[in-house]
Amino acid sequence: MAKHRGPSTVAEPRRVRAAQRRWAAALLCGATACQTTDRPKALDAGPAAGDDAGALDSAAGEAGPDPVLRGPLSLAWPVAEPSAFGSVIGVDHDPEVQPDTPLGRLTCADHHDRAFPHCYDEHGGTDIILTGGFSAMDAGSQPVIAAADGVVIATEDGHYDRCHASAETGSVDCDGHPMIANHVILEHEAEDGTAWTTRYWHLKQGSVAVAIGEAVSAGHTLGLVGSSGFSSMPHLHFQLEDPSGQVVDPFAGPRSQPETFWCSPPEGEAPPGPCEG
Ligand SMILES: [Zn+2]
């Protein structure tokens, strides 16, 4: 559901882009009423049904809390009002590229080894879905905020922001407009001096509130949630990349890495929290 990379407005990791094209219909099913008839029953369960999200990320075992292992960069949850969002769809850690079938699209493993709707095949970021969809977007939407102190290294704005899933094509439809995501990319200096990036995709048209070269603090508003680019519904695609450009899942877990990148790792069903100070 995302466009991931600069420098152009449409570039992103090729394998992710291809997978996303194949994937839009199934994703729509994950967060709204599904219009297809061949989806697995599991799609009706909803993203939070019966799981224990964050148990590993909080590093609290049965024997008592262990020290939380941390990555070289600490991030805040990148939306200002977490309660305005519902589903979270994470990074796929299943290395297999699945066949382009309904089952293949659902075959994935998130940081916690959970399948769809916690992830989808080859997803390279964290999707944070705006509750209420386009109605909520039209009512003012929600701010997207910087996950850490950093510098703006890329922005894109001005593109159509009502792209949506198409039942006819099984893909995303931007109503004849170019499928280009409004976005912001930040660069951050990690504790070890290396440069990491965070990417914020699908922003609302005209909402980008920062300029290239601008220094921002964690929590600074970057724009508003929209549905520009390859996006089937209003949501934020948030993506962390290491200095070599590899996608890193900020969530700790048995399928990602032991270190969390969240300042306040999630507890139970709650999303990660803000950074203090
Ligand atoms: Zn995404």
pLDDT by residue (tens digit) across 55-109?
Answer: 445 444 455 556 789 999 999 999 999 999 999 999 999 988 998 777 888 899 9
| CA–centroid distance, residue 211 to ligand 1 (Å) | 23
Residues of the chain below pLDDT 70:
1-66, 277
Residue at 215 is within a domain? yes
For ligand 1, a single-atom ion, the residues with CB < 5 A are 1-2, 125, 127, 237
**224, 236 Cβ separation under 8 angstroms:** no
pLDDT at 217: 96
| CA–centroid distance, residue 189 to ligand 1 (Å) | 24
pLDDT at 139: 98
CATH number of domain containing 143: 2.70.70.10
Residue at 262 is within a domain? no
How many structural domains compose the chain?
Answer: 1
pLDDT at 267: 83
Q: What is the pLDDT of residues 11-29, one digit of tens each?
A: 333 344 333 433 333 343 3
| CA–centroid distance, residue 237 to ligand 1 (Å) | 4
pLDDT at 252: 95
Q: Tokens 């969240």 identify what position?
A: 262
Residue at 61 is within a domain? no
pLDDT at 63: 57
Between CA 16 and CA 237 the distance in angstroms is 13
Residue at 47 is within a domain? no
pLDDT at 190: 96
| CA–centroid distance, residue 191 to ligand 1 (Å) | 27
Residue at 269 is within a domain? no
pLDDT at 37: 27
Residue at 150 is within a domain? yes
| CA–centroid distance, residue 226 to ligand 1 (Å) | 13
| CA–centroid distance, residue 274 to ligand 1 (Å) | 21
| CA–centroid distance, residue 258 to ligand 1 (Å) | 23
Domain residues for the domain of 94 are 14-35+74-245
pLDDT at 8: 32
Residue at 9 is within a domain? no
Give the total residue count for the chain: 277
